[in-house]
Amino acid sequence: MSSNVHSLEMLKAGKRLDFGKPNREEVEEAFRTIIRWAGDDPKRPGLIETPLRLTRAFEEFFAGYGQDASLILERTFEEIEGYDEMTVLRGIRFESHCEHHLAPITGKAWVAYVPSGRVVGISKLARVVDAYAKRLQIQEKMTAQIANTIDEVLKPQGVGVILKATHHCMTTRGVHKPDSDLVTSRMLGCFRDNPTTRQEFLQMID
Ligand SMILES: [Zn+2]
């Protein structure tokens, strides 16, 4: 069980998180501190509402902590006339944040599986991507989480996940390499064992 799901389980059980979740006022105060650190006055008119807006933005950026990706995939369809070829949702746009700099990671995901008697609604694949994207992430871990969850819940013949993303901590700061993107993949089952299946999937990536 991943630590993220573990946190969610604790939330569901009404247990206080061991790292202590602050309230909204504490978060807004923290943002005022950061504004002062940047060198500006959080009380001036242009900035007075900024901590409130930032707190709301953070709720959106990190909404994935309140989502259980396994539940998203719970409802499946079995009337598929024996369909056992690859299903691929291509180019799923996602926005995430790197856990090292809290800088945006923007990119696309390709999610494929070969069903074993049942399929999920295609929008659910995109929602699983979002459930993991809307957290503090590193791309390698997010790629594995998406593939592992689909594999565990759907129990297909195989899963393939490829993520291609730009990391703003590399493009707008640090080494400043704006044209680079990072490609990560996780192949399970027939995607790992069967070179033809893997090749068929890779040909769908642009
Ligand atoms: Zn980073």
SS3 category, 193: helix
Distance (angstroms) between ligand 1 centre and the Cα of 177 equals 13
pLDDT at 2: 47
pLDDT at 1: 42
State pLDDT tens for residues 24-78. 999 999 999 999 999 999 999 999 999 999 999 999 999 999 999 999 999 999 9
Q: Which residues are catalytic?
A: 98-101, 139, 167, 169
Distance (angstroms) between ligand 1 centre and the Cα of 107 equals 14
Q: Find all residues with CB under 8 Å of 158, minimum gap 6, and list them.
A: 113, 114, 187, 188, 189, 190, 191, 192, 193, 194, 197
Beta strands in the chain (DSSP E): 76-77, 87-98, 104-114, 119-120, 136-137, 158-167, 182-189
Q: Find all residues with CB under 8 Å of 156, minimum gap 6, and list them.
A: 113, 114, 115, 116, 150, 189
pLDDT at 114: 98
Distance (angstroms) between ligand 1 centre and the Cα of 1 equals 25
List the end-to-end C-alpha distance of the chain, in Å, as a whole number.
Answer: 33
Sheet (strand 136-137) strand order: 136-137, 87-98, 104-114, 158-167, 182-189
pLDDT at 176: 87
The reported pTM is 0.89
Distance separating alpha carbons of residues 203 and 206, to the nearest angstrom: 8
Distance (angstroms) between ligand 1 centre and the Cα of 90 equals 25
pLDDT at 19: 81
In degrees and rounded to multiples of 5, residue 89 shows phi and psi of -105, 120
- Kindly give the parts of the chain with pLDDT less than 70: 1-17
pLDDT at 206: 82
In the chain, % of residues over pLDDT 70: 92
pLDDT at 78: 92
Distance (angstroms) between ligand 1 centre and the Cα of 133 equals 14
pLDDT at 177: 85
Distance separating alpha carbons of residues 190 and 158, to the nearest angstrom: 5
